[in-house]
């Protein structure tokens, strides 16, 4: 109880200085967990699934183009209803993951929806058995489902990795007690962790936030508190990672996936060699980017060596300032509007209609995200806003996702979803717009230096750090294939990539080896992390085209976002004269980070 009171006191103090922080209004999904509308939708879903299975199971290969279109549209409606129900349950849960009633609702609905949708397992399996010539004829006919072809092309790319109907149904049914259960254990464990920092009891988000404080002693205390709690829980986190990596290896073996990463590349609709080109370009650039920047930072901080609690420290000349919510909103909307009024118009309802949950609260999920829900509703953005400049950038980032999701919604439920490699485009672009707007109106050299340094650090965190994370995952899954991993084994893998990516200016405190434990992407979305680096490199190349005055850039940009998942990355980048399979493409993006470091060095002279 005392811990909760401490949380509330910190929250109240913060809230007073930040202004009126918005909370979600989830009534656009359902009025309440007990609402008749929710019960009706569950019953409707059950009826629609039974009807769909009865009408189409065993008959997909014989459908005419018009009948196939009708089947896909019926399937899409089922997807929308199920997605609406689970979005509501998930968002309620993320508002307070330690609340037993919310956790029970999520668990019960996951089980219920899994049971209801089990009869749909036949759809993708049977679909992938349709002969190629039949498939092409149906999906190119004028009265057929041609617009849905990109979705089903991606589905059919899984054909070599498809199991028997019985096995696929077993995996579907078993998912609730498999990966999903371990995911929930991870979420509930991390949400409940408490850290003692200088006499205060804090949650993980607030403790991580202290690593950006001006006071070096406070940063050190926070880092050591994190290390202690992560160390105390490392056995549980090692068990979660061992189990999930082994489960993935078993499924990959049955599906004949050539590598642990291959499934992610397939779902991202990106070629393994493109990801390899990105990874190689970034690791080759470590000395020119992170090593060089952190050596500069050590000089600014007056240190021979940097400790891990210095990595995200503000510059000594950067006056600490809390940015209220209203200023953050106006800054981001202003930057969006300067690029294109339509961009600001798309972002405005998030602030006005309860689509953002911004405050730090006990039990609330850490981090930030934009959840698209379903195309018939709208996205919701979660933040843990504490008034730091980085929090303003996070707002710009998540609003970019939200705008992207709103624009792509016109594609319909099946086509709106964007592969992860392109899903970061609008978010990182939104950050860049906001940064450029702030930089343009800053004349004070010290503030300019602080802004530039903050941006470089964000880009290093997005590109260098995420590729290091990707390398860590690759090493983790390769090592797990050889046998069970002890916590010490995983710690050693983590430290190998950290030392390589951060460079020789860093010293690593005892306990830092356990900091892999809290990264949710390793648990929820294996190999997701390279999408951040992909997105940053892609946006840097896009932004260079914008600065070079590419004709009709804004319209081309909106067209890219509105395409959702309906086109391959090569088609989407062609109007900008860009090609992600060209190694020079990634160097162009990395050179923008180098250019910012050059500017910082010039400010030293």
DSSP states of 292-348 as a string? Answer: HHHHHHHHHTT-SSB-GGGTTPPPTTS------HHHHHHHHHHHHHHH-HHHHHHHH
- DSSP state letter for 548: T
Q: CA distances (Å), 409 to each of 144, 528, 553, 569, in order? A: 21, 23, 21, 18
Q: Please choose, from the candidates 580, 565, 550, 520, the residue with its C-alpha nearest in 3D space to the C-alpha of residue 182.
A: 520
What are the E-state strand segments in 55-180? Answer: none
Sequence-separated (6 or more) residues with CB below 8 Å from residue 566: 147, 150, 411, 415
d(CA 108, CA 86): 11
Give burial (CB, 10 Å; 0-12/13-18/19+) of 476. Answer: buried
**Residue 197: its H or E element:** strand 195-197
Q: Residue 131: exposed, middle, or buried by beta-carbon count in 10 A (0-12, 13-18, 19+)? A: exposed
Task: Report the pLDDT value the prediction gives residue 320, as an integer from 0 to 100.
Answer: 65
Angle at which helices 530-547 and 272-285 cross, to 10°: 80
Which superfamily, per CATH, for 31-177? Oligopeptidase f, N-terminal domain (1.20.140.70)
Q: Compute the distance between CA of residue 422 and CA of residue 274 in angstroms, rounded to an integer.
A: 13
pTM for the structure as a whole: 0.80
Region label for 215, one of left (φ > 0), alpha (ψ between -120 and 50) or beta (otherwise): beta
**Euclidean distance between CA atoms 538 and 582, whole angstroms:** 12
Q: What is the mean pLDDT of each run of 10 residues along the chain (605 residues)?
A: 33 64 97 97 98 96 97 97 98 95 96 94 90 96 95 87 84 84 93 94 92 94 97 97 96 94 88 91 95 96 96 81 92 97 98 97 92 97 92 95 97 91 89 89 82 90 94 97 97 96 96 96 92 88 90 97 92 91 84 92 78
Q: What is the pLDDT at residue 10?
A: 42
Give one word for 384, left, alpha or beta, with left for phi > 0 and alpha for psi -120 to 50.
Answer: beta
Distance, CA of 529 to CA of 470 (rounded, Å): 6
Q: What is the pLDDT of residue 9?
A: 36
Pick the CATH number of 325-460+531-578 from 1.20.1440.230, 2.40.50.100, 2.30.110.10, 1.10.1370.40: 1.10.1370.40
Q: How many helices and strands, by DSSP H and E, does the chain display? A: 29, 5
Three-class SS of 435-488: HHHHHHCCCCHHHHHHHHHHHHHHHHHHCHHHHHHHHHHHHHHHHHCCCCCCHH
Report whether 530 contacts 470 (CB < 8 A): yes
Contact call for residues 463 and 431 (beta carbons, < 8 A): no
The SS3 of residue 588 is helix
Same CATH fold assignment for domains 204-317+463-524 and 325-460+531-578: yes
pLDDT confidence of residue 89? 97
On the CB side of 213, CA atoms within 13 Å amount to: 17
Q: What residues does each domain of the chain span?
A: 31-177, 204-317+463-524, 325-460+531-578
**CA 75, CA 80: separation in Å to the nearest integer?**
9
Tell me the CATH number for domain 204-317+463-524: 1.10.1370.20
Q: Give CA angle at 82 (80, 85), nearest 5°.
A: 105
């Amino acid at each position: 109880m005392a811990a909760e009171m401490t949380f509330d006191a910190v929250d109240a103090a913060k809230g007073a200085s930040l202004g009126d922080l918005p909370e979600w209004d989830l009534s656009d999904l359902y009025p309440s967990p007990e609402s008749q509308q929710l019960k009706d939708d569950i019953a409707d879903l059950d009826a629609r699934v039974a009807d769909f299975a009865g009408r189409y199971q065993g008959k997909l290969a014989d459908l005419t183009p018009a009948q196939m279109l009708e089947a896909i549209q019926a399937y899409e409606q089922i997807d929308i209803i199920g997605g609406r129900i689970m979005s509501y349950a998930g968002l309620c849960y993320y508002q307070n993951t330690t609340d037993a009633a919310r956790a029970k609702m999520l668990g019960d609905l996951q089980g219920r929806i899994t049971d209801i949708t089990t009869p749909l397992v036949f759809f993708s399996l049977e679909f992938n058995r349709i002969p190629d010539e039949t498939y092409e004829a149906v999906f190119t006919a004028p009265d057929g489902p041609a617009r849905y072809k990109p979705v089903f092309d991606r589905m059919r790319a899984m054909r070599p990795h498809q199991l028997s109907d019985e096995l696929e149904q077993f995996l579907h049914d078993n998912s609730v007690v498999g990966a999903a259960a371990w995911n929930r254990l991870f979420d509930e464990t991390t949400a409940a962790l408490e850290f003692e920092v200088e006499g205060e009891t804090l949650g993980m988000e607030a403790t991580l936030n202290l690593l950006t404080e001006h006071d070096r002693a406070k940063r050190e205390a926070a880092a050591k508190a994190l290390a202690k709690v992560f160390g105390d829980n490392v056995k549980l986190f090692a068990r979660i990672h061992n189990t999930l990596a082994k489960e993935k290896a078993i499924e990959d073996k049955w599906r004949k996936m050539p590598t642990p990463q291959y499934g992610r590349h397939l779902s991202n609709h990106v070629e393994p060699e493109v990801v390899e080109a990105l990874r190689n370009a970034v690791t080759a650039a470590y000395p020119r980017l992170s090593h060089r920047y952190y050596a500069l930072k050590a000089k600014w901080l007056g240190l021979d060596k940097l400790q891990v609690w210095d990595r995200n420290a503000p510059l000594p000349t950067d006056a600490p300032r809390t940015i209220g919510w209203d200023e953050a909103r106006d800054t981001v909307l202003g930057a969006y509007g300067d690029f294109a009024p339509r961009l600001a118009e798309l972002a405005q309802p998030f602030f006005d209609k309860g689509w953002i949950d911004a405050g730090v609260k006990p039990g609330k999920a850490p981090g930030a995200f934009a959840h698209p829900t379903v195309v018939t509703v709208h996205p919701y953005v979660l933040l843990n806003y504490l008034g730091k400049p980085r929090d303003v950038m996070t707002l710009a980032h998540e609003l970019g996702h939200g705008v992207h999701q709103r624009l792509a919604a016109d594609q319909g439920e099946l086509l709106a979803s964007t592969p992860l490699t392109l899903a970061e485009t609008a978010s990182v672009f939104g950050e860049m717009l906001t940064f450029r707007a702030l930089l343009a109106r800053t004349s004070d050299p010290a503030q300019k230096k602080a802004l530039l340094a903050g941006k470089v650090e964000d880009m290093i965190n997005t590109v260098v750090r995420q590729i290091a994370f990707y390398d860590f995952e690759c090493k983790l899954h390769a090592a797990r294939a050889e046998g069970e991993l002890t916590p010490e084994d995983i710690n050693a893998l983590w430290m190998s990539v950290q030392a390589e990516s951060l460079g020789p200016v860093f010293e690593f405190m005892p306990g830092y080896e356990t900091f892999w434990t809290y990264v949710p992407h390793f648990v929820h979305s294996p190999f997701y992390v390279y999408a951040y680096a992909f997105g940053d490199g892609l946006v840097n190349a896009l932004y260079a085209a914008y600065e070079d005055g590419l004709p009709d850039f804004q319209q081309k940009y909106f067209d890219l976002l509105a395409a959702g998942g309906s086109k391959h990355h090569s088609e989407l980048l062609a109007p900008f004269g860009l090609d992600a399979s060209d190694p020079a493409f990634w160097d162009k993006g990395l050179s923008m980070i180098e250019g910012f470091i050059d500017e910082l060095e010039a400010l030293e002279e």
